[in-house]
Amino acid sequence: MKPDVQKVMVNSFERIMTDVAPHITSEYAIGSAAVIGLMAFQTAAEFERGAEIRVQENVAFREIFSDAAGHLEESDLCRRLQAAAGSSDTCLLISALDKTNDELSALLIELQTHIELLDTAWARTLEAQIWNVLGRAAEARRLPHPMVAE
Amino acid sequence: MEEIAEKTATYLAHRNPDASDVVVHDISRIHGGASRQTYRFRATWTESGVAKERALILRRDPEASLIETERDVEFNAYRALYPTGLPVPEPVYLETETKWLDRPFFIMEQIEGCLAASPFAQDPYGPLAEKIGEQFWRHLGDLAAHDPAAIGYSAEDEYPAGETCWKTALDYWEGEIDGDSLCPQPIVKGAIRWLRRNPPPPPKKISVVHGDYRTGNFLYNDEGEIRAILDWEMCHLGDPLEDIAWAADPLWAFNDTRPGSMIDRASALALWSKHSGMKIDPVALRWWEVFSVVKGLAIWISAGKEYDAGNNVDPILAFSSWYCTDVHNRQLVTWMRDLIAEEERL
């Protein structure tokens, strides 16, 4: 697709804000147009990075699972962590990556809940590591706003 | 829009049998109130031979919204607080029958010549920020100081127990998250577990909690006078720190360290304490600040669910689910990392 999707979306945002919204007479419609424009702006960023941030997040979750499985006693959770740690993203469609990310996120919640009840130094370290991974993931997903310099 | 105008005029004539020639003019929908469909209009009529006119607001239940609430919660707040002098619009009619406008609604006074700031605008109050901020925190302190039973908001036997009001609030919003999430939410679920492991002390007193007290939910005029505090649909009884935490949520201060882009945090909290007559326990306030972000995420998650299901495809619901979730997830994970590290040091 040429011109690039990012360029088309950002230009669409600018056109909505400067050329479309000012000519709408309904207050409600002006608000809707502005919101649609903002989402076009944010879609530009997501289109470019969407697959990359999901793959990186899934990789980070699998590393956590691998580490955790090495410390946990043999259990159903431990087996599922090992299986997830050994998986990989073979399809790069956003929908496929999201599906995998949902499965890994659900397992991460289980792991967090489990280790929060353990009174060991390793559990505390892993708990902090998980929050660091979640922090990096949230930051990677930061949506741009046209009024905030990147 | 003409149909709503005609139906509203018919309703107003029904409520005021002394009125004749009731006409609704200049009706237009206001953007942003995604929990209610909000319309402004002017009503004219003749009463005892005298021509009359009034600017009014119609708040009608949507088919689906950001927040699922009963419209009488909001109307009851206006009814109780209007006589206290707190700046709120005068409530006029509450209607729960669906035969008039298809869904329940209420009508209240329209506050003219004012505007509401966008929480997503840079420095929305400009040189008026200090003046508006002083009133904003003073009004919130005054609200907390009121005895809910004395102002007719609620009977004393309906007060929640101070020891468990945090749990009632947290249970409710976790239920919304669990019921409406379109994908697993490790950040907010981790925060909820932390909140349950570290409950706050009971409130100094049970107060009327606005529930959505923030930049964007009040009207002010050109002189910087707050004329109306709006959007009471999440009003309830509880710990007044809940309102402080929500008002100070960084989401409502776009790119600004001042809560709500008004006055600095220390001055804001001091004003609240002075007018509420209560000291703020910093540990309790921290709990409610984490809770506020959890509550925010519950609202954005629910908005996304409604949009995704096609119940309400207003773009503001999709935007809330994208942008506000993003901001709040980053805020929450930052706080959680600090809290976990602090626990490790102790």
Which residues does chain A have within 8 Å of residue B316's beta carbon, measured at their own beta carbons? 31-32, 35
CB contact under 8 A, B315 and A35: yes
Residues 6+ positions from A22 with CB-CB distance below 8 Å = none
The string of pLDDT tens digits covering residues B133-150 is: 999 999 999 999 999 999
Q: Is B193 in CB contact (< 8 Å) with chain A?
A: yes
Q: Is A97 in CB contact (< 8 Å) with chain B?
A: no
Does the pLDDT of residue A150 top 60, yes or no? no
Task: Give B153 to chain A, closest Cα distance, Å.
Answer: 33
The Cα–Cα gap between B221 and A141 comes to 38
Percentages helix, strand, coil for chain B, rounded to the nearest 5? 45, 15, 35
Does the pLDDT of residue B32 top 70, yes or no? no
DSSP B130-169: HHHHHHHHHHHHHHHHS-TTTTTSS-GGGPPPTTTHHHHH
Question: Three-class SS string for A105-118?
Answer: HHHHHHHHHHHCCC
Task: Give the amino acid at B322.
Answer: W
The string of pLDDT tens digits covering residues B297-330 is: 999 999 999 999 999 899 999 999 999 999 999 9
The pLDDT score that the predictor gives to residue B61 is 83
The pLDDT score that the predictor gives to residue B200 is 97
B200 cis-preceded (ω within 30 degrees of 0): no
Taking residue A86's Cβ as centre, other Cβ atoms within 10 Å add up to 11
CB contact under 8 A, A135 and B333: yes
Q: Is B218 within 8 Å of B183 (Cβ atoms)?
A: no
CB contact under 8 A, A141 and B326: yes
Nearest chain B Cα to A99, which residue? B183
Report the residue of B37, B329, B346 to disrupt the A interface, i.e. the one with the largest count of A CBs within 10 Å: B329
> What is the average per-residue pLDDT within B177-181?
97
The pLDDT score that the predictor gives to residue B157 is 82
- Whole-model pTM: value is 0.93
Q: Is A35 within 8 Å of B319 (Cβ atoms)?
A: yes
Q: Is B29 in CB contact (< 8 Å) with chain A?
A: yes
The string of pLDDT tens digits covering residues A37-78 is: 999 999 999 999 999 999 999 999 999 999 999 999 999 999
Q: Is A105 in CB contact (< 8 Å) with chain B?
A: yes
Using alpha carbons, select from A128, A127, A100, A133 the residue that is nearest to residue A112: A127
Which residues does chain A have within 8 Å of residue B183's beta carbon, measured at their own beta carbons? 98, 101-102, 105
Q: Is A106 in CB contact (< 8 Å) with chain B?
A: yes
Does the pLDDT of residue B66 top 70, yes or no? no
Q: Sorting pLDDT into bands at 50, 70 and 90, what band is B69?
A: low
Q: How far is CA A75 from CA A42, A70, B223, in A?
A: 43, 12, 67
Nearest chain A Cα to B314, which residue? A32
User: Phi and psi dihedrals of B16, rounded to 5?
Assistant: -125, 85
Q: Is A141 in CB contact (< 8 Å) with chain B?
A: yes
Task: Give B41 to chain A, closest Cα distance, Å.
Answer: 13
The pLDDT score that the predictor gives to residue B34 is 59
Which residues does chain A have within 8 Å of residue B341's beta carbon, measured at their own beta carbons? 128
Task: List the single residue in B122, B314, B333 with the smallest CB-CB distance to A134.
Answer: B333
**Rg of chain B's alpha carbons, rounded to an integer?**
21
> What is the average per-residue pLDDT within A9-25?
92
Task: List the single residue in A28, A98, A142 with the smallest CB-CB distance to B30.
Answer: A28
Q: Is B346 in CB contact (< 8 Å) with chain A?
A: no
The string of pLDDT tens digits covering residues A78-137 is: 999 999 999 999 999 999 999 999 999 999 999 999 999 999 999 999 999 999 999 999
Task: Give B115 to chain A, closest Cα distance, Å.
Answer: 13
The pLDDT score that the predictor gives to residue A26 is 86
The pLDDT score that the predictor gives to residue B33 is 58
Lowest model confidence (mean pLDDT) among B157-161, B234-238, B288-292: B157-161
